A = this chain, B = another copy of it.
Amino acid sequence: MSTSRMALQPGGCLTIIGLGPGDARYLTPAARAALDAATDLIGYFPYVERVPERPGLKRHASDNRVELDRSRHALELAAAGARVAVVSGGDPGVFAMAAAVFEAMDTGPDHWRALPVAVEPGITAMLAAAARAGAPLGGDFCAISLSDNLKPWALVAKRLDAALGADFAIALYNPVSKARPHQLDDAFAIARTHRAPDTPVLLARAVGRAEESLRIVPLGDVRGAMADMSTLVLIGASTTRMIPKADGGAYLYTPRFHKGLETQPA
């Protein structure tokens, strides 16, 4: 008999935890406490590997692209009495595991809805990348996943067009994958129809990890090949500015003040 058909066993609970951008210095005390209380750890294997082993903690690492199966497994374990921690990098609510767990609950057996389920937020990639660069998200902004695994590219393109037309700064998650080598270039092409060639684009790779690197490239020169799966891409608003640093780098920021679109370059 599957545990999903059993009544709830006492003591079970599920917490979906954001590990932040790769370094324990960004893990909140609330997230750490939730990890410390868990009996079962579930997630994509690079995130599970970030959590130190300890007695009493069972680790269930899985491959990517199985988010819904992983979520059902987590809910089944919790229903059977386990204290389950589902881990995501960054924030679990931003293009990560939280939506998958609630989708599994929504389409699963009724008794899953009686489980204590909580989400512990984390520092998501765009906030970490923006902090490293300065304050490029200082005005209104959007977050868009470029992956078309779960939505048609036409919708991604429409969202890009709408966000660019209304002069949002834009953070692009999942900018490229082996199966989608051309979409980031397509996104830059859409951006060039709205923004001047000198608009700064931030390419922030592996922020918070040892191999971290930041690059600012003008929109006219940026290419999809400059990013990989670990890169957060941030396209500036028309008002986003660079401040040259003494050491040759630059700060990037979007002023809080905006005159309105009539006065912006086409």
Name A's B-contacting residues (CB within 8 A): 18, 20, 23-30, 33, 67, 91-95, 98-103, 105-106, 113-114, 117-124, 127-128, 130-132, 134-145, 150-152, 154-155, 158-159, 161-163, 165-168, 241, 243-246, 251, 253-261
Q: Which of B123, B135, B162, B259 contacts A99 (CB 8 A)?
A: B135
Q: Are A99 and B256 in contact (CB under 8 A)?
A: yes
Counting every copy of the chain, the complex holds 2
Instruction: Say whether chain A's binding surface is mostly helix, strand, loop, or mixed.
Output: mixed
Q: Are A253 and B25 in contact (CB under 8 A)?
A: no
Residue of B nearest to A117 (CB): B251
Q: Are B131 and A258 in contact (CB under 8 A)?
A: no
Residues A26 and B140 in contact in the complex (CB < 8 Å), given A113-B243, A166-B158: no
Q: Which of B124, B163, B256 contacts A103 (CB 8 A)?
A: B256
Question: CA–CA, A154 to B119, complex, Å?
Answer: 36
Question: CA–CA, A117 to B155, complex, Å?
Answer: 39
15 further A-B pairs in the complex, CB-CB below 8 A; given A119-B130, A139-B151: A25-B28, A25-B29, A26-B29, A26-B121, A28-B123, A94-B137, A98-B131, A99-B138, A102-B134, A102-B251, A103-B257, A142-B142, A150-B257, A152-B260, A163-B168
Question: CA–CA, A98 to B139, complex, Å?
Answer: 11
Give the chain B neighbours of A243 by CB distance below 8 A. 102, 105-106, 113
A-B CB contact pairs (8 Å), 10 listed:
A24-B29, A25-B33, A27-B29, A93-B135, A99-B256, A113-B243, A114-B246, A117-B251, A121-B128, A155-B261
